[in-house]
Structure 1
Amino acid sequence: MTRKSRLLVGCFILMASILSACAGNSANPNENNQPNNGAETPKAETPTVPVKLTMWGGVPEEAGPKAAVDAWNAANPDIQVEYIRFVNDDAGNLKLDTALVSGMNADLYVNYSKDTLGKRMSGGLALDLSEYEADYNITDIMGPDAKDWQFDGKYYGLPTNKSMSFIWLNKDALDAAGLEVPALDWTLEDLAEYAKALKTDSRWGYAHFDQMYTFNFEGVMQNQLDVDGKSAFDQPAVRSSLETYYKMMHEDKSIPTYGEQVSTKLAVDAMFLKGDAAMMGAGSWIFRNASNLTDFPRDFKIAFATVPRPTADAEDYAVSAGLGDVVSINPNSLHKDEAWKFLKWYADEGIMYLAPGGRIPSSKNADAAKGVELILQGMEDQYDMESVKNVVFGDYPVFTSTIDSQTKDVLKEEYEKYFLQEQSLDESLTNLVERHNKLLAR
């Protein structure tokens, strides 16, 4: 046998020994090389990958959403939620809609108007929650006001917050002017008189957010925008409300003109909290700034009044309020059941983390009294507690505005021209009714 042949044979023997050893180890997997008596060999566990959800909302994360999500994530390692903030304006809602349509991460999101939710529902971007009705009866848990958010008797979102609009008052300015905190049932003309008495060379008597120009007459109409298919915007409450605001702008000069408010994009809440306006029309969401004395320092106490009725003889008046912050699930989510599990928790427990910022839980499963306590905790001396009790947490007729966006646009375009002195009140109302009738006919 040649030297080369001997080397080849040696290699084959070595390989055979290695294969034999490997085969032996495969047949005896136990550490001590003992038979396993037919028992299944234990397998290493594969780490569970958590489901990841995203929730889009308009509240700054530092005002409660981050604390809520952190609490959920700590208790639910298998379902992790990320909060994404969008600004609740046209640009912000467009950003959210783009995310929903394009398939970006948007498993849950908050709606702040029924019209906006309706568009998303019609576009197939809001899940019909009927399939979860046996698990969570929304009407029973949220109360009958939740039905204001139904479409054809179905829910496409879960209302989580009791929203409320009212008039914020500088109590110190009232006292200096010898004015009482207004009664629950006051009128827009009363508000105008208060604004005139409270204005100074360096302070407006009153200011409010743009959408509140319609609240007075909407409180009379309460979504009854037509009568037998014809526009109801020709009723006296509409004329009286717009006329009073015009007078306050151009005659009393007790409120900023509409042109100034739009062109300068007035930060109404900051203006009030700095003392540059003695009264403000806004909602409960302002509590997150009003109770933040670090970023919004003030040296006056705040009192509250209801949104006034347009005239003393206006009947069946209600205040724009009801339930809000309606959270929907994206039907395109890959994890709808997990999103629903989180949403139930958020409505019953998670919303409490937003209470200090003015979010009052609407679920009967939540501790509403605790929510109220959190809103005012440590700040009782900063508010007139009697008016807080009567107005912020009072019991009086309310409604949820459901006016559609097209009607809103027509309404705004016509009252803008009137406030900007581009056309008369008669012309504005005539145009408003004609244009609204065309919308109704369509």
Structure 2
Amino acid sequence: MKKITRGSSITSLVLATMMIAGCGSSGSTGNSQTSSQPEAAKSAAPAATTAAPAAADKAAKISWWGAWNEDQGPGDMIKEFNKKFPNIKVEYVKFANTDEGNVKVDTSLIAGQEMDVFFNYGVPRVEARAKKKLLQDLTEFISKDKFDVEAELGKEIYKQDGKYFGLPVSSLTDSVFINKKLLDEAGLPVPKSWSLDEYKEYAKKLTKGDGPARVYGTSDFHSLYYWTMPVRSVLGTNAWYNKDGASNFDYAGYKKALEFKFAMENVDKIQYPYTEIKSTKAQVFDLFMQKKTAMAVASNAISRFIGDTTQYPRDFITTVAPLPTLEKDQKQNLNNGLHYFGYLSMNPNTKEKEASWQFMKWLATEGSIHLAKVGHIPTWKKTNKDALVKVMFGEDADKKIDLEAFKRVVLDYDSVSYNDTIFTGYAELNKLLQDEAEKALFGVQKIDEALANMKKKSDEAIKNSK
């Protein structure tokens, strides 16, 4: 990956906040819990190709910071790690993956508090912290162990000046999850590829009922930035920016994507309306599992809900299709494949660097399968898909999920995907594209006005961030 030279406004925002914020307590994160599947994990995948250093035999104690409750999976991961490395004791600390929670991480790093290994959720977090030298350069550990990062984890991994400051141990995929029973009743096959127009036809045929009993054909994700995903299918990496570094919201695809969402929800009324999601704070996971929608655009985080038949008893299995493409005859869908999300990094001031590295390397490779317990997809190229599905859904996985479709679409380790490398004004752009689209969906402004405001304000945010 080329060196990233553009500055990040996120860095300035975080550091400005840190000047006035103390170490607040973590709020709750996550939703439904799933049970652990340790037996499946034992047969997860071949051992990592790198040998453990002799330093692993030395007694050490490290802390690991993440955004899940310990009993949602991290506790089991530590137990599995200690089966191989009993002399390295790991203490888990939870923080909220929110702006406030991440300020706590930053202030702890600057203040030199006890923190050894921690998650950065999203590349913008890694970039901001790396630029401020809050992350350990991993070069010496990678070189010493001859750890081939690209062979083990992939090529499009964030680097700064050619150096790694975190290992992408988990990924996210975005897909369309479908009630297979309703699909069969409508006489529709499971799509292996489709355009927005074809997706719309499915939604029409799957919509039925009225009032409280209405089943919408589909639902977009509850986070509003998902309306831009059809554009991602064409442009992929850095889709929010044009070749000159300004915002790209005057690209024709954005108008088509926003018009599509507006029509699906406010005209055809075959997609669960965002206005209702906003007013009730509903989540697409719940809407789908409660059969209020026949299809749902979601990340693989929905797997925690699909695997939970106690809280979500049901009479259907879930199948999966890729996100639809913007155009009908599109040659490539850049929404397919894995998108790096959970970067594991080391505090440069830790007193236990060898032990911290050993834990990081284990969780990035053979231990990564346990991340499925918290709904994340391991990035490790040698992940055993069959074992991974059992960890996610249990031994009776075939009664909950269409295994063939899930492995093909969600566990797609081969497709070319997108991973952004430009973050100038990134947080501001993310907020603007949601705020202006929301006004259009609520009828406060026309779509053309929303896009014009989006473009103008985003260009200003980019200019002010440089």
Q: Structure 1-normalised TM-score? A: 0.80
Do structure 1's residue 259 and structure 2's residue 275 form an aligned pair?
A: yes
Residue 68 of structure 1 corresponds to: 77
Residue 325 of structure 1 corresponds to: 342
Contact residue 389 and residue 397 of structure 2 kept, 8 A = no
- 1:360-404: per-residue Cα shift (whole Å, max 9, x none)? 432246545533453353211322234224322345432224552
Unmatched runs of 5 consecutive residues or more in structure 2: 1-56
Cα distance change, pair 255–100 in 1 and its aligned pair in 2 (3 A): farther
Q: Distance in 1 between matches of 2:69 and 2:295?
A: 25
Which residue of 138, 141, 144 maps to 2:152?
141
SS at match of 2:63: strand
SS at match of 2:173: strand
SS at match of 1:319: coil
Q: Distance in 1 between matches of 2:243 and 2:329?
A: 20
AA partner of residue 160 (structure 2): F
Contact residue 360 and residue 372 of structure 1 kept, 8 A = no
Cα distance change, pair 315–364 in 1 and its aligned pair in 2 (3 A): closer
SS at match of 1:400: coil
Unmatched runs of 5 consecutive residues or more in structure 1: 1-47
- In the TM superposition, 1:78-227 aligns within 5 A as 78-134=87-143, 135=145, 136-145=147-156, 147=157, 149-182=158-191, 184-199=192-207, 200-201=209-210, 202=213, 203-207=215-219, 208-210=221-223, 211-222=225-236, 223-224=238-239, 225-227=241-243
> Which structure: larger Rg?
1
AA partner of residue 287 (structure 1): S
Could you tell which deviates more after superposition, 163-172 or 225-234?
225-234
Residue 381 of structure 1 corresponds to: 399
Q: Distance in 2 between matches of 1:95 and 1:276?
A: 38
Q: Give the superposition deviation at 1:162.
A: 4.0
AA partner of residue 242 (structure 2): D
- 1:405-425: per-residue Cα shift (whole Å, max 9, x none)? 222122222212212222111
Do structure 1's residue 433 and structure 2's residue 449 form an aligned pair?
A: no
Q: Distance in 2 between matches of 1:341 and 1:386?
A: 34
Residue 29 of structure 1 corresponds to: none
SS at match of 1:398: coil
Cα distance change, pair 173–101 in 1 and its aligned pair in 2 (3 A): farther
- 1:241-280: per-residue Cα shift (whole Å, max 9, x none)? 1111111221122333333322322122122112122111
- In the TM superposition, 1:333-344 aligns within 5 A as 333-344=350-361
- In the TM superposition, 1:227-306 aligns within 5 A as 227-306=243-322
- 1:200-256: per-residue Cα shift (whole Å, max 9, x none)? 332232222314222221222211421233432212211111111111221122333
- 1:91-119: per-residue Cα shift (whole Å, max 9, x none)? 44344334434443332111221112212
Cα distance change, pair 204–56 in 1 and its aligned pair in 2 (3 A): farther
SS at match of 1:430: helix
Cα distance change, pair 118–426 in 1 and its aligned pair in 2 (3 A): same
AA partner of residue 140 (structure 1): A
Q: Give the superposition deviation at 1:327.
A: 0.6
- In the TM superposition, 1:365-376 aligns within 5 A as 367=384, 369-376=386-393
Q: Distance in 1 between matches of 2:110 and 2:275?
A: 36
Q: What RMSD, in angstroms, separates the aligned Cα atoms of the two structures?
A: 2.6
The structure whose RCO (Cα within 8 Å, separation 6+) is larger is 2
Q: Distance in 2 between matches of 1:87 and 1:300?
A: 33
Q: Give the superposition deviation at 1:356.
A: 4.8
Q: Distance in 1 between matches of 2:253 and 2:69?
A: 36
Q: Distance in 2 between matches of 1:87 and 1:181?
A: 37
Contact residue 272 and residue 293 of structure 2 kept, 8 A = no
SS at match of 1:133: helix
